[in-house]
Structure 1
Amino acid sequence: MFHIIMSADENYIKYSAVLITSIIKNTDLSKKFKDFCDKEDFIPLKNNNTLDSYSYLKFDTLNKEQQKEGYIFHILSNFISPQTEEKLQFFEKELNSIYPCKILIHIFEDEFFKDFPKSGAAHSNYLSYYRLKINSILDNNVKNCIYLDSDMLCFFDIRELFALDLKDKIIACVNDPGSKKRKIKFKEKNKKITFYFDQNYFNAGFLLINFEKYKKEKIEEKTHELAKKCFYIKAADQDLLNFVLRNQILKLDFAYNFSIITYAYAICRDENSNRLNFTREEFNQSFKNPKILHYGEKPWKYLKSYIDANGKNINDHWWEMVNKTPIFNKELLEEKNNIKEYLYIAALGFMALKFYNDFKFFKIASLIKNKNDKKYLEYIKEIKDEEFGLCCILGESIFYARKSNKGSFSVILKLLKIIFHYKKYSHKSRII
């Protein structure tokens, strides 16, 4: 059986259902798990020294439970209503008619995580830390498991990952596209220590976990101990995992956790060593064929954002899967009719881009102070498809500045930096 873990509160269950559906729908029924195992070792790009070679499990060395076809989806949550539980039961039944699967719910109390710092994804609740408790939900028969964020969409047969042999590595993961100038501060024997992460800093939204070694190395306990010592941390569980696992990771192609913001622009390793730790060639390979999309601009908030290598709005992929999602599709499609705020955000960003192109930089300050955004909606039709995602990023930055009462000058500098990076790095990602 193939164990896949997600964290979701009551509101996020319907989004998790779309991800689960995409996994089931992309399972090739003409193949068995054995077909993915027993392969020769594979190196993603020829003559490439930056990506590890992939080794595959020998099917006959697995026990019967590990050889068995079928998914078990584990949903970690703080609360799920009886009505939603009932929906999940019907949802499971529908998907079982396609491919064997179970959906198990695991409820945790925030009290378990009172020693963990609130930051990043954990600024309002502890849900993102729940993934650290996999020891308590999986039994000893499990060899590998996968953790996925709910804002993802699968485009391939995920059994391919379960066939990977992690050997002495604890996780296989994908490099984070953000800046690598990150740090964590903690106390060790009354001494303050600052640890700076390096170019191998990974995104914890996708983790292929060698569960046998994860337990043996007591990763859950180590993250808990570190959490109690931390007095500066920005990315919550992601920072904890990056520190504890920093020397025990297998690096996978960016395609397995393709962060959609890189459709706007990607700064690759051969352009800036502190950013995405893939070369432009490696990135372009993933750009052409992403296996898992990781949505930043959520498709349930944005009907439109970036376009992919085939010129298609990537949020259309998600809504097409909604149509195929049993039980939850009606609710989601009804909500779709009310999604409009993104238009204001994109229009606001378009005005910022327009002022930039007209060299009227300080007119951007008026966008921050003036909150009458309706008047900008008339410009929506002028936004080019390839720039819509950029306009969303700019508009979101302005909305955040208003909410946080940021000074105009610092916001203008941030917007100028975003546009500069877009103009310098976005066109390269489209040279495929």
Structure 2
Amino acid sequence: MIHIACNIDANFTQHCAVTLVSLFENNKTADICVHIVAPGLPEKDQNILKSLAASYGNEVCFYFPSPELLANFSIRKFGKRISMATYYRCMFSAILPATVDKVLYLDCDIVILGDISEFWNTDLTDYAVGCVEDIGYDDMERYETLKYDSKYSYFNAGVLLINLKYWREHKVDEQCVKYFLAYPERIRYNDQDLLNALLHEHKLFMSLKWNMQDAFYRYGMEKKIEHWPTLKQDLESPVILHYTNKKPWNYDSMHPLRREYYTYLDMTPWRGKRPLLSLKNSLLRFIKLLPYVLKLRKPKYMKL
């Protein structure tokens, strides 16, 4: 059984559905249980997610923790597009059943484009998480703020293979609360900073293909990535594609693989929904892209 966890609120049900359908479509032989942690979801939304999972022979379980569980946290950055639900991932060891020893956490701005069994079967003995380096790993200010050595680097918290057994033994959920209360001024990127501050010495870095972030597709990355030829292959066929910047449902997204999102959207009840069906959005996109078409601005993304 592969255990998947997602944090959402009602604003993200559509995107969660896309993530799950892409997972199910590309892992049809796997037995999957999805754990949805939310402050609350309309029954209609719950039924949609349950029905999608059931159509592939999988199941969804819902958890609606008390608001008091997150009472000691607050959103520090991106408050307009990030809800308090983001901190649920810090509390999985307290929320999910004790019988679940490992879970793969996925943000819901993700599509799964391949088999995740290799990632899932990673041996995490003595590690808290299996993860992928964040695009902002070279931001020295983060290490100065979080008070740890940059040699440990910095991971992206949007895809985490979590060793729940380790988290329970080391009371990671309690550590998160204590750290946030003691050093709120250090936390800028919400739970991602918090988890890096606590787990930087207890993580296992994995291949970038398990969390292919937006900025890896941008011009200039070939100068920053040590093993560029290998990464270039993964860019064209990532297993987990993570839209960490502009989302594909934003009218001005220029991500070279943004259409992958719509491939799976059309397998959900939101089939056919597109931002550019709006005349206003189409006009705004035209204005946004015109300088690039006229070559007045350099393109942001590499051609694959």
TM-score range normalised by the length of the shorter chain: 0.7 to 0.9
1:24-423 matches, within 5 Å, as: 24-29=24-29, 70-96=31-57, 101-121=58-78, 125-178=83-136, 179-183=138-142, 194-195=147-148, 197-198=150-151, 200-230=153-183, 231-267=185-221, 271-272=223-224, 278-295=226-243, 296-302=245-251, 305-307=254-256, 314-325=257-268, 328-330=269-271, 333=273, 337-338=277-278, 341=281, 344-345=284-285, 347-348=287-288, 350-351=290-291, 387=299, 390=300
Q: TM-score, normalization: structure 2?
A: 0.86
| Corresponding residue SS for 1:120 | coil
1:283 & 1:300 partners in 2: Cα distance? 26
What residue ranges of structure 2 are gaps of 5+ in the alignment? none
CA shift, 1:138, in A, is: 2.5
| 1:4–1:148 contact (8 Å) kept in structure 2 | yes
Letter in 1 for 2:93: N
Change (3 A) 1:304 1:349: closer
What residue ranges of structure 1 are gaps of 5+ in the alignment? 30-68, 187-192, 308-313, 358-385, 391-421
| Corresponding residue SS for 1:129 | helix
| 1:253–1:286 contact (8 Å) kept in structure 2 | no
| 1:185–1:233 contact (8 Å) kept in structure 2 | no
CA shift, 1:263, in A, is: 1.6
1:3 maps onto 2:18 in alignment: no
Change (3 A) 1:303 1:315: farther
CA shift, 1:353, in A, is: 8.8
Deviates more, 1:335-344 or 1:84-93: 335-344
| 1:172–1:252 contact (8 Å) kept in structure 2 | yes
Deviations 1:63-96 (A, max 9, x none): xxxxxx6211111111211222233333333232
| 2:34–2:61 contact (8 Å) kept in structure 1 | yes
| Corresponding residue SS for 1:89 | helix
1:335 & 1:108 partners in 2: Cα distance? 33
1:77 & 1:144 partners in 2: Cα distance? 19
| 1:6–1:149 contact (8 Å) kept in structure 2 | yes
Letter in 2 for 1:208: L
In the other structure, the counterpart of 1:19 is 19
CA shift, 1:290, in A, is: 0.8
Change (3 A) 1:305 1:356: closer
| Corresponding residue SS for 2:262 | helix
Number of aligned pairs?
300
1:183 & 1:199 partners in 2: Cα distance? 12
1:8 & 1:255 partners in 2: Cα distance? 24
Letter in 2 for 1:215: R
| 1:19–1:150 contact (8 Å) kept in structure 2 | yes
Letter in 2 for 1:315: R
Letter in 2 for 1:167: T
1:185 & 1:111 partners in 2: Cα distance? 31
CA shift, 1:118, in A, is: 2.1
CA shift, 1:194, in A, is: 4.5
Greater RCO, CA 8 A, separation 6+: 2
CA shift, 1:234, in A, is: 1.4
| 1:6–1:74 contact (8 Å) kept in structure 2 | yes
1:8 & 1:342 partners in 2: Cα distance? 28
Change (3 A) 1:226 1:266: farther
CA shift, 1:236, in A, is: 0.5
Letter in 2 for 1:89: K
Change (3 A) 1:119 1:317: same
| 1:182–1:196 contact (8 Å) kept in structure 2 | no
| 2:275–2:281 contact (8 Å) kept in structure 1 | no
1:133 & 1:347 partners in 2: Cα distance? 43
Q: Percent identity?
A: 24
CA shift, 1:342, in A, is: 6.6
CA shift, 1:300, in A, is: 1.7
Deviations 1:41-69 (A, max 9, x none): xxxxxxxxxxxxxxxxxxxxxxxxxxxx6
